[in-house]
Structure 1
Amino acid sequence: MDLGIAGRTALVTGADSGIGWHTAQMLLDESVTVVVSDKEADALAESAATLRAPEGALHQVAADLDTLEAVEQLEQDVRAAVGSIDILVHGAGVTGAQGMFHEIDDRGWVDTLTTDLLAPVRVTRAFIGALREGGWGRIVYLTSEDATQPYDDELPYCAAKAGVLSFAKGLSRSYASEGLLVNCVSPAFIRTPMTDAMMTKRADELGVTFDEAVESFLAEERPFMELGRRGEPEEAAAVVTFLCSERASFVNGSEYRVDSGSVATI
């Protein structure tokens, strides 16, 4: 299917692995010029080298999105590299502070909310001018099942992702008349470095293998994931890429769950 976005320009944050990497590849396959960004320059360069891209179609800008100054510098670097962007995919995020509520201090909350809520707000503010310039634009935020089905051992992350959903819904009303559409994709338990780390920790704590940790996690913590497996990053990236496209021209203010049924409500 031709997604109708050949010649567009996109910025993908959190792009050195997982859903972000696969989204960048799918956009490149649609003849989109892509800027990939992530926190660590070396890891980003190594990851970008594995993307299949025509000459001149792929650019990389490392940025730590935890500070306003870094976000502003990201905007300047992206503009210098490709000019204005038409598409923003914000996938950068962290699991953040974990534990029961009484175990998480103020710093844990501030650090998690800074990365998972304030960073997407700042990045959007930095690029909103460019996204409004051409009368056509797309913003897609990677949120999580946790936004609508919070878990008691990672409340800062859940609250941040719920905040992104609310922010996106409100933002979707602001510029739709100008052709800028805003949506979210909420994955659950995708095979990414983040969930790899979670399962490695679980395996160590339980004294079991990695695969046994995944199996027990699915049975005990995610019983509504009816497919009984972790999702693949390209399964989420395909939905993100669709929402970036001309084929999603009547989709605005929506949340697409890519979760195998994990969220147990309608």
Structure 2
Amino acid sequence: MTAQEPPQEPSQEPPQEPPQEPQRGARATRQQRQRLIVDHVLARGDASVAELTELTGVSLMTVHRDITELADRGILRKYHGGVSAQPSTVFESSSDFRLHAHADAKGALARAALDFLSPGMSLMLDDSTTALALARLLPRVGPMTVVTNYRLITEELRAAEDIRLILVGGEYSRTHDSWIGLSALEMIRSFSADLTVVSTSAMTADMTYHQEQEIVAIKRAMREAGSVSALLMDHSKVGRSALHRLDPVSAFDHVVLTPPVDEEVLAQLRQLTDVRIAD
């Protein structure tokens, strides 16, 4: 008769907690606290240091450090006794700000863009946070060469053994967290990639736009360097314009959008190029 082993308790994995919104008070992390400050100032246009101290529940000195860092990153503007939102063009250009905007939509666009990829391709990615969402999925595709000017994409892929990573150099932009300028343009123009994936600030039924001339030049050169080009846009950018024209919609081989999109605009877009809706 064999001895019976004592019954084993079923292993229990700790429950997964949902992502938390920025907390108020001292328990908030520095990143959460700064997001809370940015959201508050963006909603109201400006705020006093005393108001932000009460909002976050931390010391006056800590709030001063936070707003100094946010101002140095080009997200907020300091003035005596308070802080204000930068013009919308600066907000829209800031990599830090874009990282927190429409994250679910960018994930859907990235998954849809996998349809354009196959192992062994060369891929050029711009400095959009939508392209960053796609970069996070690339290790599952297989061997690939990736060319980018975005620091966060290089950080994401530098340890991926199947990814040959080529960094576009040039003048470093702290606002965009990427390399731009004439040197970057010359390097981009030296490539011929199988596919270029870009995003931009705004588009209408026939034209794409960006608020900064230097970024327009970089994105346009990237599109031209790809044998095939794909434009990924979340719905918040459709039906808008910005200061500088980038490229006609017809210049892109594929356009991927997230819903909802106005049916009339969608019909006009589909007369110009292949348009897909990301689930």
Provide TM-score, normalisation by structure 2: 0.38
Q: Considering Cα pairs closer than 8 Å and 6+ residues apart, tell me whether 1 or 2 has the greater RCO.
A: 1
Larger Rg: 2
